[in-house]
């Protein structure tokens, strides 16, 4: 892997890349109401790799969806940089996702009809912008996909697909990259490669990455781990090791 | 298994509605056609039954021959003296002669009362005996009993405000006469006979004006009480002279209704063809739907197989779904059929074929046939996809599959092209090789199937071509193109449904356009006429010869060349023939004889076309046997062979004088006018027009006017066909909606991903819309291409029949294609909306 020479430039550079203020999310109504998030406030530092952990049903994915503008809180506010995204209309929110956020999902990250290269520049094409060819080339090289750009997703392994997704997430130079269980469907080696790449993006490029995971090893790549249980933030850990995370998770009963 | 099937159907309501509609519409057309033809048949039979209700026996001449087409039998008139013989027969209460023939009514202003859709204008004798009139009854006034009195049908009287006691002119083959209207006539509950205008005269007047003095068409007999119909007919038959016969009133009524049924059968077959097209298109949508259902359910099917369902059970479950769908849709279709029958009747009224009304006749046969056909079409269309479902392996339940593309095979190309080639060969051999039109139909179906089979192979290049301008629309356009291309078989079978409709519409347009161009050419180049005198209604039978006398007297008119036509048997074959004026036809009609001379065309002679001379091996001096209904057989000597068809296109041409001898006095079909040198065309035209004021049965047109009239008529027919095919096009559009809806459903996750990475709702809608436009344009463009080919082949093949001008109506076809694109946009409205509503979270989060 080569070093990346052109660091991304951000339009709005703040110490806190994204934050949630008293965010609650309820599903259903009446007796059937389920509380996914209960009055959660959290700030995510720019240029940091943050992992969100917690047992199933803890609300970790819900929190990520709120922060990423994929879902709206029942109450409370969500900010991306200085923008209150919880008050945005669908169109503005969509454009914000397109221009300022990168995504990596657990699976089905790519359009089957497009080649790897086309998938990588998809958000920019949707925006009608010309991608920065040098930047894209360096990203592609970093994730190690140079020989596979002309392949369609069905011709790529799961790990390669996720690396394409990671390249896509970074290609438009977003303020923040959200990853929802990105290694959930990968074997451990492919998973390690992907996490290593995300780590590198943070360290070398100053990229902000927020990742939801239930895997302690994955969390150990992060600078900071936030633990959720029953819709509350219960604890956090800085510079975690896999063992420490695992122990804490056992303590949480996951 | 049944509950799974039912639940699956109910779970996809939109799909259920769309697939039901696509079959139901075709079935509705079928049921509507059956209901309408039954209704028309019943109505006509009631009508004829009533009209001849009071007649127990009919004496008439034996038919010289029965025409194989048209309304049955032509007979020569019967000598009036036979009436005296008939009256002497024991058991005859009363007998009267009756005649009928051409009579054109005029209104209070002297203008001709024209009928719609070519319904005849008739004159009849009215019997003195009321019972003999059957259901023909005087609604007001009294029976005409002097030479200056007429009774007319109530519709003509009411529509034209003709009051009893007023004086109107009536035009005949011979001189025009004025009459006092003394009565109005109705027929049971009807005020006219299926759109016909009718004039009734006393028998002697009718003989003079619409028949021949001293003869009757038939002698109608009413029996004394206690004498049966057959008994009476037998007694009469024993005394009538050679060459005449007596039959029962019942027989005549049956003959009449048989003849009508034969005519209606043609109408029924015509509608049936359109119903068949609609069902064929509907079958595509079923095929498509089931293919998509099977793809979508492959995990479910694999799971069922994994837990022990046999292939047979899987197949049965899908076919059961098809049967339920087909039967349900057919039931809906039968219900809609009543509305379709009413709609078709209205359409026929608009086109001008007004029908006697009676309540809609829904026979059990209609319901059974419609249900069976609808269900069968559905099941057959579902059969192949269902069989494919049985090939799903149990292990596929465990695989994560994304709806992906497929490979197109060489085998498909081979089969498709072979079938296409066979179809084209079939069409060409029927067009040029003189094989029947049935072969053309089969060839057309085969060619269409061939194209449908090979269409997936060209979907990719075609989409790329169509979508090229869409690249300007950015990512949504690009994605739309890729989506249309990713599953060529699905795209092509969706587009094929539209293609079928467009092929037929476009080929008809090309044919009609060529027809118009040829007609223009005939008028422009193939006559030397300056003006044209024609029947005042475009579909009228012609006008009285006295019109020509009037036109010839107009200053500035140099020559008038008349022509007529008729049906007779030449060389043992029923055919139309032309009659011309031998002195002027060579010049005005540009009849160039390659052999012989027109001036020899006189008594017992005939001029034949080169084609017929070749096929029948006729040479100058040979004889052709002809047979006319009115006068029987005549041996005609061939005195000329003409080469170039133009104004005259019939294979046999005789002189007008001879036509009047063989077939009785005839109307003139048209008169070509040449004006004197130096005369001003417009002035002469105005003068002829003024001279025709007293002749409302004819009008004068210049070249442009004549061409416009012919074009209008052709356009009317084209419109009718297009309206009929519109249903097939509508079903095809439902198919596009269906395919898009299913594709959107199938691509939920993709849509979610696109939304997550920043595609706006508007962009998603645009993407679905453009995909729809690509699909419709594939259908429209391939249909237009195929249609142009078929239309040209058809026109070219009929070159011998006078279609010499080939014309492709470019702007019109471009309009059809553009309309298809617009329809594509409309078809996408619903699916685009649901695509834009996809919940991002549900789509991207793995559960």
Give the three-class secondary structure for B557.
strand
B115: tokens are 């009928």
pLDDT digits (tens, 9 = 90+) for B265-302: 777 887 888 888 888 888 888 888 888 777 777 777 77
Residue B398: its pLDDT value, please?
58
Residue B354: its pLDDT value, please?
59
Rounded CA separation B694/B326 (Å)? 62
Q: Do A94 and B482 touch (CB under 8 A)?
A: no
pLDDT digits (tens, 9 = 90+) for B489-532: 888 888 988 998 899 899 999 999 988 888 888 887 888 889 99
Average pLDDT, chain A: 86
Place of tokens 């019939």: B650
Residue A11: its pLDDT value, please?
41
- List, as ranges, residues 138-177 from A with C-beta within 8 Å of B: 153-154, 168
Q: Do A123 and B758 touch (CB under 8 A)?
A: yes
Across A162-183, average pLDDT: 91
Phi–psi pair at B101, nearest 5 degrees:
180, -170
Half-sphere exposure of B389 (CA within 13 A, CB side): 33
Please state, for a pLDDT cut of 70, what percent of chain B lies above it.
91
Q: Do B760 and A95 touch (CB under 8 A)?
A: yes
Rounded CA separation B657/B663 (Å)? 10
pLDDT digits (tens, 9 = 90+) for B405-428: 455 577 778 888 888 888 888 877
Say if CB B721 and CB B566 are below 8 A apart.
no
pLDDT digits (tens, 9 = 90+) for B737-775: 988 988 888 888 889 889 988 899 999 999 999 999 999
Q: Is A123 in CB contact (< 8 Å) with chain B? A: yes
Q: Do A70 and B402 touch (CB under 8 A)?
A: no
Give the three-class secondary structure for B692.
helix
B567: tokens are 């049906």
Q: Is A178 in CB contact (< 8 Å) with chain B? A: no
Across A28-41, average pLDDT: 86
First to last CA, chain B: 27
Please state, for a pLDDT cut of 70, what percent of chain A lies above it.
94
Give the three-class secondary structure for B50.
helix
Distance of CA B59 to the CA centre of its chain: 36
Closest CA to A51 of A198, A174, A247: A198
Across B546-553, average pLDDT: 90
Closest CA to B88 of B194, B239, B253, B292: B239
Which residue in the set A90, A103, A181 is minimally distant from B756, CB to CB? Answer: A103
Q: Is the pLDDT reported for residue B709 higher than 70?
A: yes
Of A2-11, A149-158, B180-189, give the lowest mean pLDDT range. Answer: A2-11
Q: Do B758 and A99 touch (CB under 8 A)?
A: yes
pLDDT digits (tens, 9 = 90+) for B164-174: 999 999 998 88
Across B698-711, average pLDDT: 88
User: Which ranges of chain A does DSSP label H, i.e. alpha helix?
Assistant: 60-67, 90-100, 116-120, 122-127, 133-143, 158-171, 188-205, 216-219, 242-252
Say if CB B543 and CB B562 are below 8 A apart.
no
Place of tokens 């299913």: B742
Which residue in the set B755, B757, B840 is minimally distant from A122, CB to CB? Answer: B757
Residues of B in contact with A71 (CB under 8 A): 840-841
Q: Do B479 and A184 touch (CB under 8 A)?
A: no
CA separation, residue A192 to residues A176, A197, B333, B399, B493 (Å): 21, 8, 62, 24, 46
Q: Is A185 in CB contact (< 8 Å) with chain B? A: yes
Q: Is A71 in CB contact (< 8 Å) with chain B? A: yes
Say if CB A169 and CB A197 are below 8 A apart.
no
- Which H or E run contains A17? strand A16-27
Rounded CA separation B638/B652 (Å)? 10
Name the more confident of A4 and B657: B657
Residues of B in contact with A127 (CB under 8 A): 758
Residue B351: its pLDDT value, please?
64
Residue B805: its pLDDT value, please?
79
Identity of the highest mean pLDDT range in B126-135, B149-158, B387-396: B149-158
pLDDT digits (tens, 9 = 90+) for B331-366: 999 999 988 888 887 877 776 565 666 678 888 888
Q: Is the pLDDT reported for residue A176 higher than 80?
A: yes
Name the more confident of B437 and B794: B794
Name the more confident of B224 and B135: B224
Rounded CA separation B15/A246 (Å)? 50
Residue B388: its pLDDT value, please?
81
Q: Is the pLDDT reported for residue B436 higher than 70?
A: no
Of A17-31, B318-332, B470-484, B505-519, give the lowest mean pLDDT range. Answer: B470-484
Q: Is the pLDDT reported for residue B784 higher than 90?
A: yes
Q: Is A105 in CB contact (< 8 Å) with chain B? A: yes
Place of tokens 């956090």: A236
Q: Is A92 in CB contact (< 8 Å) with chain B? A: no
Phi–psi pair at B570, nearest 5 degrees:
-120, 130
Rounded CA separation B839/B847 (Å)? 14
Residue A209: its pLDDT value, please?
95
Q: Is the pLDDT reported for residue B30 higher than 50?
A: yes
Residue A210's DSSP bridge partners are A50, A178
B contact test, residue of A68, A80, A111, A170 with most B CBs within 10 A: A111
Q: What is the CA radius of gyration of chain B?
A: 33
pLDDT digits (tens, 9 = 90+) for B636-649: 999 999 886 778 88
Residues of B engaging A, defined by a Cβ cutoff of 8 Å: 400, 402-405, 474-475, 478-479, 482-483, 485-486, 749-750, 753-763, 840-841, 844-846
A contact test, residue of B476, B485, B754, B845 with most A CBs within 10 A: B845
Residues of A in contact with B755 (CB under 8 A): 94
Residues of A in contact with B486 (CB under 8 A): 112-113
Residue B162: its pLDDT value, please?
93
Other C-beta atoms lying within 10 Å of the C-beta of residue B428: 17
First to last CA, chain A: 37
Q: What is the ipTM of this complex?
A: 0.85
Rounded CA separation A233/A37 (Å)? 9
User: Which ranges of B391-487 does DSSP label H, i.e. alpha helix?
Assistant: 410-432, 437-467, 475-486
Residue B402: its pLDDT value, please?
47
Residues of A in contact with B478 (CB under 8 A): 125
Residue B654: its pLDDT value, please?
93
Rounded CA separation A48/A14 (Å)? 12
pLDDT digits (tens, 9 = 90+) for A83-99: 999 888 888 999 999 98
Q: Do A180 and B404 touch (CB under 8 A)?
A: no
Model confidence band, residue A31 (pLDDT cutoffs 50, 70, 90): confident
Place of tokens 């009543």: B338
Q: Do B475 and A126 touch (CB under 8 A)?
A: yes
Model confidence band, residue B580 (pLDDT cutoffs 50, 70, 90): very high
CA separation, residue B235 to residues B248, B611, B794 (Å): 11, 51, 56
Q: Is the pLDDT reported for residue B76 higher than 50?
A: yes
Across A39-51, average pLDDT: 93
Half-sphere exposure of B661 (CA within 13 A, CB side): 11
A94: left (phi over 0), alpha (psi -120 to 50) or beta: alpha
Residue B405: its pLDDT value, please?
46
How does DSSP classify residue A1? -
Phi–psi pair at B639, nearest 5 degrees:
-115, 0
* Ranges assigned E (strand) in B45-91: 57-61, 65-66, 73-74, 78-79
Average pLDDT, chain B: 84
Residues of A in contact with B460 (CB under 8 A): none
B contact test, residue of A100, A105, A214 with most B CBs within 10 A: A105
B574: tokens are 């029923």
How does DSSP classify residue A149? T
Residue B403: its pLDDT value, please?
45
B216: tokens are 């009757």
Model confidence band, residue A14 (pLDDT cutoffs 50, 70, 90): very low
Single pTM value for the model: 0.77
Q: Do A128 and B475 touch (CB under 8 A)?
A: yes
Give the three-class secondary structure for A212.
strand
Positive or negative: CA dihedral B406, B412, B416, B419: negative
Looking at CA atoms only, how far is residue B479 from chain A in angstroms? 8
Query: Could you please report the per-residue DSSP string of B327-340?
Result: HHHHHHHHHHHHHH
Q: What angle is formed at CA B16 by the lines to CA B15 and CA B17, rounded to 5 degrees?
A: 90
Looking at CA atoms only, how far is residue A41 from chain B in angstroms? 22
Q: Is the pLDDT reported for residue A167 higher than 50?
A: yes
């Amino acid at each position: 892997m080569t070093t990346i020479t052109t660091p991304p430039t951000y339009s709005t550079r703040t110490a806190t890349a994204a934050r949630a203020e008293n965010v609650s999310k309820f599903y259903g109504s009446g007796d059937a109401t389920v509380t996914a998030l209960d009055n959660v406030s959290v700030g995510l530092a720019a240029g940091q790799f943050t992992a969100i952990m917690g047992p199933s049903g803890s609300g970790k994915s819900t929190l990520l969806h709120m922060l990423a503008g994929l879902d709206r809180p029942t109450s409370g506010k969500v900010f991306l940089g200085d923008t209150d995204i919880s008050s945005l209309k669908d169109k503005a929110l969509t454009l914000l996702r397109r221009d300022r956020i990168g995504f990596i999902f657990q699976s089905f990250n790519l359009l089957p009809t497009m080649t790897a290269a086309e998938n990588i520049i998809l958000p920019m094409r949707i925006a009608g912008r010309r991608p920065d060819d040098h930047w894209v080339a360096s990203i592609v090289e970093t994730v190690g996909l140079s020989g596979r750009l002309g392949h369609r997703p069905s011709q790529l392994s799961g790990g390669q697909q996720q690396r394409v997704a990671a390249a896509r997430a970074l290609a438009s130079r977003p303020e923040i990259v959200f990853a929802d269980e990105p290694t959930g469907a990968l074997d451990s080696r492919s998973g390690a490669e992907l996490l290593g790449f995300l780590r590198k993006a943070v360290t070398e490029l100053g990229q902000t990455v927020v990742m939801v995971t239930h895997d302690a090893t994955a969390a150990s790549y992060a600078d900071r781990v936030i633990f959720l249980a029953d819709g509350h933030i219960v604890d956090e850990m800085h510079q975690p090791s896999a063992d420490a995370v695992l122990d804490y998770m056992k303590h949480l009963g996951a | 298994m049944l509950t799974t099937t039912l639940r699956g159907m109910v779970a996809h309501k939109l799909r259920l509605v769309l697939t039901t509609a696509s079959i139901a519409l075709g079935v509705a057309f079928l049921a509507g056609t059956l209901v309408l033809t039954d209704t028309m048949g019943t109505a006509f039979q009631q009508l004829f039954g009533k009209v001849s209700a009071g007649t127990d026996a009919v004496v008439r001449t034996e038919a010289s021959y029965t025409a194989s087409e048209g309304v049955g039998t032509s007979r020569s008139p019967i000598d009036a003296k036979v009436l005296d013989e008939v009256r002497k027969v024991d058991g005859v209460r009363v007998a009267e002669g009756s005649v009928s023939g051409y009579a054109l009514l005029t209104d209070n202003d002297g203008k001709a009362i024209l009928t719609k859709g070519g319904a005849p204008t008739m004159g009849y004798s009215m019997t003195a005996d009321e019972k003999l009139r059957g259901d023909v009854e005087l609604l007001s006034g009294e029976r005409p009993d002097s030479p200056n009195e007429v009774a007319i049908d109530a519709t003509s009287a009411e529509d034209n405000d003709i009051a009893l006691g007023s004086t109107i002119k009536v035009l005949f083959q011979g001189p025009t006469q004025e009459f006092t209207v003394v009565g109005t006539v109705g027929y049971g509950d009807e005020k006219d006979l299926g759109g016909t205008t009718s004039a009734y005269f006393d028998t002697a007047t009718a003989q003079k004006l619409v028949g021949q003095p001293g003869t009757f068409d038939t002698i109608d007999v009413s029996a004394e009480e206690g004498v049966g119909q057959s008994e009476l007919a037998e007694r009469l038959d024993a005394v009538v002279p050679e060459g005449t016969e007596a039959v029962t009133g019942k027989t005549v009524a049956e003959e009449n209704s048989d003849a009508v049924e034969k005519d209606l059968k043609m109408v029924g077959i015509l509608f049936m063809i359109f119903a068949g097209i609609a069902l064929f298109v509907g079958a595509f949508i079923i095929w498509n739907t089931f293919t998509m259902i099977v793809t979508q359910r492959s995990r479910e099917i694999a799971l069922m197989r994994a837990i022990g369902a046999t292939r047979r059970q899987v197949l049965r479950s899908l076919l059961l779904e098809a049967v339920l769908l087909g039967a349900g849709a057919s039931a809906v279709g039968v219900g809609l059929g009543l509305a379709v029958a009413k709609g078709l009747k209205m359409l026929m009224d608009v086109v001008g074929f007004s029908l006697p009304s009676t309540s809609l006749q829904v026979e059990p046969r209609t319901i059974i046939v419609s249900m069976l056909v609808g269900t069968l079409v559905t099941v057959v269309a579902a059969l192949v996809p269902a069989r494919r479902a049985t090939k799903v392996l149990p292990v596929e339940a465990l695989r994560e599959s994304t709806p992906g593309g497929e490979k197109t095979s060489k085998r498909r190309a081979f089969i498709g092209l072979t079938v296409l080639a066979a179809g084209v060969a079939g069409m060409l051999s029927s067009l040029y090789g003189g094989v029947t039109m049935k072969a053309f139909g089969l060839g057309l179906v085969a060619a269409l199937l061939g194209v449908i089979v090979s269409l997936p192979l060209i979907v990719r290049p075609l989409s790329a071509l169509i979508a090229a301008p869409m690249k300007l629309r950015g990512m949504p356009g690009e994605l739309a193109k890729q989506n249309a291309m990713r599953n060529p078989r699905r795209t092509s079978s969706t587009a094929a449904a539209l293609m079928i409709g467009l092929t037929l519409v476009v080929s008809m347009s090309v044919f009609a356009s060529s027809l118009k161009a040829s007609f223009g050419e005939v008028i422009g180049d193939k006559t030397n006429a300056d003006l044209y005198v024609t029947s005042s209604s475009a579909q009228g039978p012609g006008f009285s010869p006295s019109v020509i006398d009037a036109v010839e007297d107009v200053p500035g008119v140099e020559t008038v060349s008349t022509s007529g036509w008729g049906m007779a048997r030449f060389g043992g074959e029923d055919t139309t023939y032309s009659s011309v004026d031998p002195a002027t036809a060579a010049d005005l009609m540009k009849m160039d004889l390659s052999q012989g001379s027109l001036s020899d065309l006189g008594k017992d002679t005939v001029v034949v076309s080169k084609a017929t001379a070749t096929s029948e091996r006729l040479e100058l001096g040979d004889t052709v046997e002809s047979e006319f209904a009115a006068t029987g057989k005549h041996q005609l000597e061939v005195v000329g062979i003409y080469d170039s068809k133009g104004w005259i296109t019939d294979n046999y041409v005789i002189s007008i004088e001879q036509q009047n001898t063989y077939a009785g006095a005839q109307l003139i079909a048209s008169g070509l006018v040449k004006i004197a040198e130096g005369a001003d065309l417009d002035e002469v035209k105005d003068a002829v027009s003024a001279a025709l004021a007293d002749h409302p049965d004819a009008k004068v047109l210049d070249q442009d006017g004549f061409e416009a009239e012919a074009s209008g008529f052709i356009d009317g027919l084209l419109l009718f066909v297009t309206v009929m095919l519109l249903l097939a096009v509508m079903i095809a559009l439902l198919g596009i909606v269906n395919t898009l809806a299913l594709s959107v459903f199938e691509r939920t996750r993709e849509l979610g991903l696109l939304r997550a990475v920043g595609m706006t709702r508007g962009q998603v809608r645009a993407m679905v819309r453009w995909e729809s436009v690509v699909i419709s344009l594939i259908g429209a463009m391939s249909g237009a291409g195929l249609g142009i080919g078929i239309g040209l082949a058809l026109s070219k093949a009929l070159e011998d029949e006078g279609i010499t001008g080939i014309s492709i109506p470019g702007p019109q076809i471009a309009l059809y294609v553009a309309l298809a694109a617009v329809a594509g946009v409309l078809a996408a409205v619903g699916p685009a909306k649901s695509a834009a509503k996809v919940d991002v979270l549900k789509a991207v989060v793995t559960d």
